[in-house]
Amino acid sequence: MTKKVFTARYNYGMSTEEFQKITSSVASKFLKVPGLHWKIWLLNEDRKEAGGVYLFESARDLQQFLNSNLFAALTTNPAFTNLQINTFDVAEATTVITGARLMSSLVA
């Protein structure tokens, strides 16, 4: 089974402080997403742009997330615009050579 990377990028229409309060309040919900090993939160205050990089165990797990209420909360919120998403297969052999952590259990 090939792990999947999912990326999302969008603009937010509120203060960065308000945006960070919202993301802090929902961050723990990602701990319960089936098959999600980790999420890296992205933020560019100057452009009011944010996003995430996610590592999923499988295409099935990624698809379940894309069909979830948690993802729908992002896609239907009028404060978030210009959503761009991408999915990729992980080239695991070369990724391990360059030291990337592919399993959530390796978090310090």
pLDDT digits (tens, 9 = 90+) for 14-71: 999 999 999 999 999 999 999 999 999 999 999 999 999 999 999 999 999 999 999 9
Domain-wise residue ranges, the chain: 4-106
Q: Which candidate, 54, 56, 43, 51, places its Cα nearest to that of 16?
A: 43
pTM metric for this prediction: 0.89
Residue 81 predicted with pLDDT over 70: yes
The domain defined by 4-106 carries CATH number 3.30.70.100: yes
Q: Which candidate, 91, 75, 87, 83, places its Cα nearest to that of 50?
A: 83
